[in-house]
Chain A
Amino acid sequence: MSFPLTPEQDMIVETVRKFVETEIYPYEDEVERSGHVRPELAEAIKAKTQEIGFYGCNFPEEVGGAGLNHLEFALVERELGRGSMALTHFFGRPQNILMACQGDQRERYLLPAVRGERMDALAMTEPGAGSDIRGMKCHARRDGSDWIVNGSKHFISGADHADFVIVFVATGEDQTPRGPKKRITTFLVDRGTPGFVMRDGYESVSHRGYKNMILEFDDCRLPADQVLGDVDGGYDVMNTWLYATRLTVATMAVGRARRTFDMALNYAAEREQFGQKIGRFQGVSFQLADMITEIDASDLLTLSAAHRLDVGLPANREIASAKLYATECLARVTDAALQIHGGMGLMNDLPLERFWRDARVERIWDGTSEIQRHIIGRELLRPLGC
């Protein structure tokens, strides 16, 4: 597939791809078998990322980032998507939402995050509130100028390595014609704050070593300057900054799908059965044809959505289409690639069974496939008064 990229953008792709092949691939089996990332390995990946100036590359230059645009950042994410998420986590891309930091929050959270001194995690989901964040139960009440937080969050990725967590908490409720609607406020919560504990979450079939954690707040007292954005402004913060994060799931899916496809293609060109290469059977070659067509389509959908963000066009529908299609494509591609490898595809001598398992979560997190379809349908029909 080709897409008009500048020589610099081509080089960004080359460099990140090479980094992933050299610094990530060799350690994937270790993470897969042990279920965790050794601290020295994590530090080494982080240090190398900083050395080549890619750490926090999604942030503007004035806060120490590289100022990549959405398209360039999508290319970075796409190439990172080839590698284990547990490891590429340390090729740090802090949450863009930190740009909402004001006053001394910039020195305490934003700048150290971009410098790689402090790592973040983002906590929205609760056991009772997944797709429907309005059902959030975790809440904060005022006590003088402080806030007292109670409740819990689960499935919080990367929180085991986080020095602080960006947490969305209910701070009231409004009655609307469409039922009660929670007011939400975003808080910055440091690890070690009294009344705040993190514990291991569940064992997931996808992305071993990339842990999800449970966060518990028990009368956790937070001063007013821990509020990110405005009080009751959680939806604004989300809409401004979390709008584009779904796109990273799509781009990572494209990178992983290409890595998987290349293995299937090479295997089909080499494996012989019935006296010939299995790629000569249409049953196999047609699968490859469908795979590459869908991968190219996913790639173009994601790059085009990123380009829309860069030129300031509405992109909500396009991001949802990209996230939906690219993650469903990854599921089909990993399944077909495994099938082409026959019985060996299932064995952990090859990374295919891992790609196949890892693909499963992509259709769930950052908005399930159904929620993406819901967004697409709403964007199409609402303007028609439906």
Chain B
Amino acid sequence: MKALVCVKRVIDYNVKVRVKSDETGVELNNVKMAMNPFDEIAVEQAIRMKEAGAVSEIVVVSIGPKQAQETIRTGLAMGADRGIHVEHDGELEPLAIAKMLKALVEKEEPGIVFCGKQAIDGDNNQTPQMLSALLGWPQGTFASGVELNDAGALITREVDGGLEDIQINMPAVLSVDLRLNEPRYASLPNIMKAKKKPIDGTTPADLGVDPAPRLTTLKVTEPPARAAGVKVASVAELVAKLRDEAKVI
């Protein structure tokens, strides 16, 4: 079974994101970029399944500017077999990405698609669900456990109330959550081998997708700073404050 893993280039999670002074977006100049952490977990899952013999080939896909190739190389250095880069500069919305991924899935015919549950830049949490709908495939989102079985796959999902197990048919789109695994580092031998692994280039036009955004960003601002809290001495005082000051009861 072939696995397709979607990886996105985002601001490194260690970087404190700052709003640009003209409020048109966040500052990307001189900012360290890295693979979306949830996508690292997706790559790791595919590699573990390949090591276990359940997956035969791992293809990592990234849609974005030229530098997105670095993110693909990171996936290859972790252990993926080859890459596909859909080159596009400028803003992209989840639906356009899902449409491009659908075109790639139809071409590559993987038995499973892995995505991170969300990208830490826009925190949209939409692409895998849209992809699954466009393909008409089952989805297993927020996966913290993936077990292949005769009927398809048993997915453990992280939901608000705890964990939920669902049985899904394959092929399927999975979006992986934080606790699924701990991604490995790119090993030095794999880093050296990554150079020889192929990355195919394509474009949204080749895939027949119009990437133009349908939304206009008016402005981007910092969330308002939270005011400091207060400590209360008793329940009576709390109730009084909620009633008289906060006026919520």
Contact = CB atoms under 8 A, between A and B. Distances in A.
B14 A11 contact: no
A7 B73 contact: yes
Interface stretch (A13-21, A108-116, A160-168): A13-21
Interface stretch (B167-175, B185-193, B213-221, B225-233): B185-193
A210 interface: no
Interface residues of A, number: 19
Nearest to A51: B187
Interface in A8-51: 8, 10-12, 14-15, 18-19, 21, 48, 51
Contacts of A48: 185
Interface in A175-212: none
B69 to A, nearest CB: 8
A127 interface: no
A6 B77 CA distance: 14
Contacts, number: 49
B70 interface: yes
A11 B191 contact: yes
A21 B185 CA distance: 12
A192 B146 CA distance: 52
Interface residues of B, number: 19
Contacts of B70: 7, 10
B74 interface: yes
A53 B16 contact: no
Contact of A12 (B69, B184, B188): B188
A52 interface: yes
B194 interface: yes
A66 B14 contact: no
A266 B74 CA distance: 28
Given A7-B73, A266-B16, A14 B188 contact: no
A48 B194 CA distance: 20
Interface in B153-189: 184-189
A54 interface: yes
Nearest to B191: A11
B66 interface: no
Contacts of A10: 70
A52 B186 contact: yes
B195 interface: yes
Nearest to B69: A7
A97 interface: no
B195 A7 contact: yes
A57 interface: yes
A14 B14 contact: no
Given A10-B70, A266-B16, A15 B192 contact: no
Contact of B74 (A14, A21, A53): A14
A8 B195 contact: yes
B187 A52 contact: yes
Contacts of A14: 34, 74, 186
B185 A8 contact: no
Nearest to A54: B188
Contacts of B34: 14
Interface in B58-104: 69-70, 73-74, 77
A66 B187 CA distance: 11
Given A7-B73, A11-B77, A21-B14, A52 B195 contact: no
Contacts of B189: 53, 66
Nearest to A270: B16
With a 10 A CB-CB cut-off, give which of B14, B77, B188, B191 has the most chain A CB atoms: B188
27 contacts: A7-B70, A7-B73, A7-B195, A8-B194, A8-B195, A11-B73, A11-B74, A11-B191, A11-B194, A12-B188, A12-B191, A14-B34, A14-B74, A15-B185, A15-B186, A15-B188, A18-B185, A19-B185, A21-B14, A51-B187, A52-B184, A52-B187, A53-B188, A53-B189, A53-B190, A54-B187, A66-B188
Interface of B: 14, 16, 34, 69-70, 73-74, 77, 184-192, 194-195
Given A10-B70, A12-B191, A52-B188, 5 more contacts: A11-B74, A11-B194, A52-B184, A53-B187, A54-B187
